Every structure is written in C-alpha cells, then in structure tokens.
Structure 1
C-alpha cells in the first residue's frame, strides 16, 4: 500500500468520528490545510508555519484498532526540524523552567501552564492571554509557564509540544509540594476522540491521549489539579482524569466539536467565554463554567451550530483547597481583550 493509500485509509477511519465540521476540523484531518504561504509570511519570523502536508505515514501495517491502541501512548513525531531550531527551543524551555519559583511552605501555591499544541495562531494567542488571566486569578506570578509558537506578532516563547509539556510538568513536580500545591493546566488545540492533536506546521505531529496524561500525573505525583481543555471532543478526558482532587472543564462533550478555532481568530468560543470573560470576574470556577456554557450555547444557536456541550466535573476534595486559591482573585473584573470569538448580529 502506498503512503498516499495509507493516508486516505487513515482519513476514512477518522471520518467515522462524528462532527468533523468545516468550522473546527481536527488536526488529524489536516486542519487549516493551505498549499502555499505568501512571501511576506515566509520572511516574517513571527508568522507561524501553516499546515501544507498530510500527516506522516503512521498507519502502515496497522489495523484501525491497533492504531487507536498505539495512540494511547502519546506518540510524537518530528520531521525536518532544523538543528538550530531544536537548540533554540531547548534553550528557551530551559530558561523558562529555570525561572520558575519554588513553592512556599504553608501556602497553597498555584503552578500555571498554558500550552498551545497547534501552530494555527489562534491557539498561540489564546494560550498567551490565558496564562496572564489564570496567573492573576490564582496568584501564579513567578510560577506560570506559557508554551506557544509564534502568533503573527511575537515569537519569543518555547513552543508547545507533548514533550515540552511533559518536561514542564516534571520540573513543576520537583518545585511544588504535591500535598499542598495545585497545578492549573490550560491546553488549546484541535482534537478528536483519541485526544489532543499536536501539530506544528509540517514538522511536528502527535496525539496526547487521556490515558497518557493520567499516567504522567500519577508518575509525578501531581494530584491537585485544575484542568481546562479547549479542543473538539475534549470531553473524552473527563472520565479518565476525573479524581477526588481534580477540577476538569472541557470545551465540548466527547462526541461533539467545539468552535471558533479559525487561524485568524484571537479566541476560540470556549477560551473567549470562559477565560476572556468569566474568569476575569470575581466569581467561583463553577459559576464561571456555567456562565460560559450559556454564552457558548447562545453563540452556537446564533451560528446554527450543533451544540458543543462543554463539560465540567469537580472532585469531592476540590472544595478543600480551591477556595484558598480563589481568595486571591482580583475583586474588580478586568475587561476582555482581543477580537471576540463571535460578534452579535
């Protein structure tokens, strides 16, 4: 079977998953495919790379069932990355990790990671601003890390990938008191029923599965967690990652798409409603989740889209430590920034 035949076989298999909409295609189906870049984009170091090629021939010799099983291990593949870029990304990540402050004994410290796993610039923009909102809300100054590629105007951060996320989590686990402190993780990307898609231009590919993310948390001993996952089908993470000390919020149900992830946007629907609007207000995380879900439902109705059905689950132990974090939130709401994900008619 040729590489092209394998690609179409993989595409056809993935198409069995519901809801591959034109508004938010998953990265495995070559989200935001574009055949060429403009000369100005190629010359601008702040311009993110576009997706122009199909995924590598990762399905050869595997049945759909075998492929699905292999994806639970969170494979990551990089091809054709310039050596200088590899060195530069390592330098950036090491510098950011070295700057993170240790935990304070007797304090419930929040360690914030905001990561864009796709090079479409909407995700980098969202991840950057989300890091600021969550850091301000939970007192994460000095303990906040943003992993995001270029967004069209900036290219100064370590880019998001499965590997960089795992390295960052390991560093934070070393710095935090896992019996006392809290991880606040925000991920934004395309997704499907296998998990979150890592897709950087034509050089980086991978899948972050719920099973693998859970195993990493268990290995590192990170139990107190606020997990906010913005992607299509992100509800697949809820049953696997729900625990006594986990608050998890997702942009959609397991069988549904989420919306607003066009590259030119500043926010996805979920990021705009939850982060840019509700979490800037002095209200609880659960109240913010409910208000954001209502806002998103209104936008989807206006655009005649199938409801994404954002999910949330709060473990029984979350109420013991979340109020201490939320006591730090600013008592005056800040104004939303950027272009709204949906404009009123």
Structure 2
C-alpha cells in the first residue's frame, strides 16, 4: 500500500491555546476466535463455532483500493469533532481485521452504534473495516490507516481529559492480530507495533479491547499505568464464536451486547462478561478462553470520571441486548 502523510488536515488549536498531541485513555479489548469445527450444541445457547464464509468470485481492483485509502481515511478523520473543554470525552476507534467472515463487520458496526448511543461518542467515533461490502466507502483496517486514525484522534483530544477506546476484532496468534483481505497483501498488526503507534501519537489514557485468539499476549507489550486492557482470551488460549453468519463473537456479545448495556464500567463489564463466556463455553464443552484484564493504577480515577459523565448525560437506564 502506498504510504500517505501522517498529518491529514490536523486540527488546529483554538486561539490562545497551545496544541499538543493529546494523551488519552485507550482501552483495548482483545477477543480471539477458535476455528473449531466440532460443535457439541447446547440448544442455541451461544452462536455456532466457526463456519467458513461462502466463496466470492467477484473481482477486486487492487490498485484502486490501495490508491483510494488516502481519500477515505482523510474523509473519515475530517468528520471527527474537537474535544469539549471540561468534559471527559471518549474517542472510539474500531478495527475489524479479517475480511473473510462477516461477523467482524457486524460486530464492529454494532459496537460503534452502542458507543455512539450510550457512551457519548457520536461525532468522535471511526471504524476501519476489511470487507468487500464496505471497501468502496470505508477505510481499510490496515496498520497505515490505524496510525492515521490515532494521529488524527490525538490531534483533537485534550491530553489531560480525554480517553481513547480502541476495539480490535479479528483472528489472532500470539502477539499478532490477523489483518486479512485477499487479494490485498496487508501487514498484520502486532502488539509491539501497536504500542509504538500509541506512543508516537502521544496518547496517554488508553482503553484497549482486543477480541482474538491468544489476545492475552497483547497485555504485556501494551500495559502502562494509564491504560486499561481487556482481552477475550488468555495468552495461551483461543476464543470462540467467529462464525461467518454470527453477529458477534462470544466475548464481543458478552462484553458489549450484554454487560456494557447494563453498566458504564469497563472493568465491571469484564468481570460480568468473563462469567457469561465461561458459562457458554462450559455448556459447549470447550476449553475455557479465560478473558484477561489489566487496570493501570493511574487510570482508575479517569474511568470514574467517565462513569460520572455518562450518568449525568444518560441517567442510569439499561439498554436491552440486541437479539
């Protein structure tokens, strides 16, 4: 993919204010999927395990896709709104890395909608997606585009107030998130390269959720005192639910579609989702994925600020899970 400039119309400072790279809280939730074929069903308690996507023979203009990325990522980031002084804003970045199963597209769309509706990110959310259905109108989930998105988010944030919520969903191997869209040749996203991106863009407060197999391996390279990291599996375990026809992975459904519809606490949601996933996996006689969490010492007060703000904005009503 041809490189493009790091700065795509970077937001400028308001008069009298010195603009610095924003340092924001980034929450990463990693939730991987096993490509299991054995499905000892439990009466539809959870979605079926991985089923391959149907073959698609439509051609893809690879060169056109590559050269459209500057335009698409520039358009998407220009739409991001500036931070609001005195408000702990959340900026949401979603990354659906695997084009070959629609579950990742459906999940990232649902999570973005949830955050726009319940976590006050409307105007401050962006998704990067690998899927034939979106390739002409949305930026790819590539490492280049992720860096550009983080760079532009950081330019709009207040480094002391605001938080970045980064959600990554795909397949994975230890330390690596799959980035796949045949016949495009995209680089996979490693935990080490993600840490470098976050440090380069000056992002301080980090909430990162990674949904992929072996996603617990992202914690050690990414953890800081100012980060919250949630993963769908332990470093040596797979996670489940990434069938083509599903709307969510197991962890994505438990964490976002259930727990975060009842609470504003990203930490409490992890505890609830872990119990839910364990119950589903036990019913399916699957080896437990054991979702993991890291809560930096310094980020706890920031997370409390977010919860207080959302209660003021929304009150405390819960949303019903999507069917």
**2:252 paired with 1:271:** yes
- Match of residue 106, structure 1, among 66, 82, 86: 86
Question: 1:14 is matched with which residue?
Answer: none
Question: Where does residue 23 of structure 2 map in the other structure?
Answer: none
Query: Which ranges in structure 2 are unaligned for 5 or more consecutive residues?
Result: 1-32, 39-49
Mean Cα deviation higher: 134-143 or 216-225? 134-143
Match of 1:176 in 2: 157
Coordinate RMSD, CA, aligned? 2.5
Q: 1:291 to 1:136 in 2, by over 3 A?
A: same
SS at the partner of 2:87? Answer: coil
Q: Which stretch shows the higher mean deviation, 247-256 or 159-168?
A: 159-168
1:241 CA displacement: 1.1
CA drift of 1:23 comes to 5.2
> Match of 2:191?
210
Between 1:131-140 and 1:116-125, the stretch displaced more is: 131-140
Corresponding residue for residue 42 of structure 2:
none
Q: 1:86 aligns with which of 66, 70, 73?
A: 66
Shift of 1:32: 7.0
Q: Which residue matches 2:317? A: 332
Question: What TM-score does the superposition give when structure 2 sets the normalisation length?
Answer: 0.78
2:299 and 2:37 map into 1 onto residues whose CA distance is: 35
**Which one of 202, 206, 216 corresponds to residue 235 of structure 1?**
216
Q: 1: CA distance between counterparts of 2:204 and 2:135?
A: 34
Aligned to 1:187: 168
2:267 aligned with 1:286? yes
Match of 2:36 among 1, 10, 22: 22
CA contact (8 A) 1:182 1:226 kept: yes
**Greater Cα shift, 263-272 or 100-109:** 100-109
1:297 to 278, 297, 302: 278
SS of structure 2 residue aligned to 1:200: coil
Equivalent residue for 2:55? 37
Compared with structure 1, are the counterparts of its residues 165 and 154 closer, same or farther at alpha carbon in structure 2 (3 Å cutoff)? closer
Q: d(CA) in 2 for partners of 1:217 and 1:279?
A: 25
Higher relative contact order (CA 8 A, sep 6+): 2
Deviations 1:236-268 (A, max 9, x none): 011121111111100000000010011111100
SS of the counterpart of 1:198?
coil
Indicate conservation of the 8 Å contact 2:96/2:130, yes or no.
yes
* Of 70, 75, 89, the match for 1:95: 75
Given that 2:34 and 2:242 are in contact with CA atoms closer than 8 Å, whether structure 1 keeps it comes out as: no
Matched residue, 1:161:
142
- 1:221 pairs with 2:239: no
Q: Provide the secondary structure at the position in 1 that maps to 2:281.
A: helix
Deviation of the 1:81 alpha carbon: 5.2
Tell me which moved more, 117-126 or 132-141: 132-141
Pick the aligned partner of 1:116 from 96, 100, 103: 96
CA positional deviation for 1:204: 3.1
How far residue 33 of structure 1 moved from its aligned partner, in angstroms, is: 6.5
Structure with higher helix content:
1
Distance 1:139 1:189 in 2: 25
- CA separation of 1:38 and 1:163: change in aligned 2, threshold 3 A: closer
Q: Distance in 2 between matches of 1:294 and 1:226?
A: 21
1:140 counterpart residue number = 121
Q: 1:264 to 1:151 in 2, by over 3 A?
A: farther
Aligned residues: 275
Shift, 1:127, TM fit: 0.6
Partner of 2:301: 320
